[in-house]
Structure 1
Amino acid sequence: MQKIKVGIIGGAGYTGGELIRLLINHPAADIVFINSRSNAGKPVSAIHQDLLGDTELFFSDDLSALGGGVDVVFLCLGHGESKKFLEGNTIADNIKIIDLANDFRLSKQSVIGNRKFVYGLPELNKAEIKTAQHIANPGCFATTIQLGLLPLAKAGLLEEIYTTGITGSTGAGQSLSATSHFSWRANNIQAYKTLTHQHLGEIGESLMQLQSKGTIDLNFVPWRGDFTRGIFISSTVHCNLSAEELKILYKDFYKNAAFTFVSDQPIFLKQVVNTNKAIIQLEKVGSKLVVHSIADNLLKGASGQAVQNMNLMFGLAETAGLRLKAAGF
Structure 2
Amino acid sequence: MKQPVKVGIIGSAGYTGGELIRLLLNHPSAEIVFAHSESNGGNLVSDVHLDLLGETDLRFSDSLTQDIDVLFLCVGHGNARKFLTNHKIAETVRIIDLSQDFRLEANASFENREFVYGLPELQRAAIKSARNIANPGCFATTIELALLPLAQKDLIKTEVHVNATTGATGAGQNPTATTHFSWRNNNLSAYNIFQHRHLAEIGEVLSQSSGVQPQINFIPQRGDYPRGIFATNYLKSDLSLEEAYSIYESYYAEHPFTHVSRKNIDLKQVVNTNRALVHLVKHQDILLIISMTDNLLKGASGQAIQNMNLMFGLDEKAGLNLKSIVY
Fold agreement, TM-score > 0.5 = yes
Aligned to 2:17: 16
**Partner AA of 2:179 in structure 1:** S
Aligned to 2:169: 170
> Residues of 1 paired with 2:51 and 2:269: CA distance?
22
Shift in Å at residue 50 of structure 1?
1.4
Aligned to 1:328: 326
**Partner AA of 1:105 in structure 2:** R
> Residues of 2 paired with 1:328 and 1:18: CA distance?
19
**Partner AA of 1:304 in structure 2:** G
Q: Give the match's secondary structure for 2:39.
A: helix
Aligned to 2:8: 7
**Partner AA of 1:272 in structure 2:** V
**Partner AA of 2:318 in structure 1:** A
**Which of 144, 150, 155 pairs up with 2:153?**
155
Shift in Å at residue 224 of structure 1?
0.2
Aligned to 2:41: 40
Shift in Å at residue 177 of structure 1?
0.1
Runs of 4+ in 1 over 6 A off after TM superposition: none
Aligned to 2:302: 304
Aligned to 2:196: 197
Aligned to 2:29: 28
Unaligned runs of 5+ residues in structure 1 are: none
**Partner AA of 1:46 in structure 2:** D
Q: Per-residue CA shift, 1:179-231, capped at 9, x if unaligned?
A: 00000001100000000000001100110011104x41011000000100000
Shift in Å at residue 49 of structure 1?
1.2
Aligned to 2:78: 80
Shift in Å at residue 157 of structure 1?
1.2
**Partner AA of 1:135 in structure 2:** I
Q: Give the match's secondary structure for 1:222.
A: strand
Q: CA RMSD in A?
A: 0.6
> Residues of 2 paired with 1:124 and 1:265: CA distance?
25
**Partner AA of 2:146 in structure 1:** G
What TM-score, normalized to structure 1? 0.98
Shift in Å at residue 98 of structure 1?
0.1
Aligned to 2:140: 142
Aligned to 1:55: 56
**Partner AA of 2:149 in structure 1:** P
Q: Per-residue CA shift, 1:274-328, capped at 9, x if unaligned?
A: 0000000000011100100010000000000000000000000100000001101
Q: How does 1:105-254 map to 2 (within 5 A)?
A: 105-158=103-156, 159-213=158-212, 215-254=213-252
What TM-score, normalized to structure 2? 0.99
**Which of 284, 288, 313 pairs up with 2:311?**
313
Shift in Å at residue 61 of structure 1?
1.1
Q: Per-residue CA shift, 1:238-296, capped at 9, x if unaligned?
A: 10010000000000000000100000001100000000000000000111001000100
Aligned to 2:265: 267
**Which of 70, 90, 93 pairs up with 1:92?**
90
Aligned to 1:280: 278
Q: Give the match's secondary structure for 1:299.
A: coil
> Residues of 2 paired with 1:287 and 1:156: CA distance?
17
